[in-house]
Amino acid sequence: MHQRRLSRVASLTGFVKPVIGTLFLLSAASAVHAAGPVTFAQAIETSANADANVFAYNNNSATPDATIGTSTGGALGAAIPISFTYLSGAGILPADLMGVQNATISMTASTTKTVATAFGGTFADQAIDGLGSFVDTIKLTRTMAAGEGTGLRTNLLTVTFTGNLEGAVGGTTPSLNADTSLNDTVIYSSDFLSFVGSTQQDFNVAFSSWDPLVTPPSGLGINSDGFFNSATAAGAATFDFQGASSVIPEPASVPIVILSLMSVALFGGRRLRRNPSVAVVAL
């Protein structure tokens, strides 16, 4: 590291710019550091859904692929009402992003991979590779725009991923999950959080009441074509990260912080001018 000693006091202009620049960055993003995986958000179905089974798995044997997503009986990708909550792992949030958020979940995913089994055929796993009819995407959208954030200020969280659908054969509680530490792909984006400092992401959509469209109902079952039987299910989701996330601030907070810091800088500049003998050391 090179060191040099300045023989004169830094000018007011030179003093103000780095201070404002540094503190502007601090005001623009409140970083949250995590030593291990932290659950920062969850999504739960609301009573507004007449039928709790708002997720569907479709065995498209003629394609051949399988698709999975939100549905009210029609095409996949329906916007389903949910209660969304940023948890403490998300950091210090503005007031209107704290607590339960009225939101919707929309999911579309697909796979061209057939099911693999383990433990004597009692456990089944299907890679959800996104190479079929849909790219694997989950969108959690705020019903109304928030008072802060970027873009439309409604994107609570969007997830693009590759992962796995797995569970006990014959069971009614399989899950869709992805974990970057296991070489899955999980990419988060949000109008309110930045995940630039995040080193690992994972999520889990826990299904219940998995109801295959066969008679008699048999839970998670494997069709003769190697895909699961078509089914519907209820579900709830949690989202994790490891590393650091940053909260994007209220737009109004930035000018206020800048004005406050300019006052500090100006006051500091006056004090420096009153003490011309002070030397500034730059590393």
Please check whether residue 239 is in contact with residue 41, taking contact to mean a CB–CB distance below 8 angstroms: yes
Query: Between 191 and 20, whose confidence is greater?
Result: 191
**Per the structure block, which two tokens stand in for 121?**
């055929």
Residue written as token pair 């007449």: 50
Evaluate if residue 19 carries a pLDDT over 90. no
DSSP letter assigned to residue 229: P
β-strand 175-179 against 155-168: which pairing, if any?
A: antiparallel
φ/ψ bin of 198: left (φ > 0), alpha (ψ from -120 to 50), beta (otherwise): beta
Per-chain mean pLDDT for the chain: 82
Exposure on the CB side of residue 179, measured as CA atoms within 13 A: 11
Backbone angles phi, psi at 46, to 5 degrees: -105, 170
In tens, the pLDDT along 82-118 reads 999 999 999 999 999 999 999 999 999 999 999 999 9
Q: Which helix (H) or strand (E) holds 106?
A: strand 100-111
Instruction: Specify the 3-state DSSP secondary structure of 169.
Output: coil
DSSP states along 110-149: EE-PPPEEETTTTEEEEEE-S-SSS--EEEEEESS--SSS
Query: What is the pLDDT, as a whole number, of residue 62?
Result: 76
CA distance 180 to 163: 9
Residue written as token pair 């939101």: 103
Rounded mean pLDDT, 209-237: 92
Exposure on the CB side of residue 233, measured as CA atoms within 13 A: 26
Query: What is the pLDDT, as a whole number, of residue 60?
Result: 93
**Per the structure block, which two tokens stand in for 146?**
């928030």
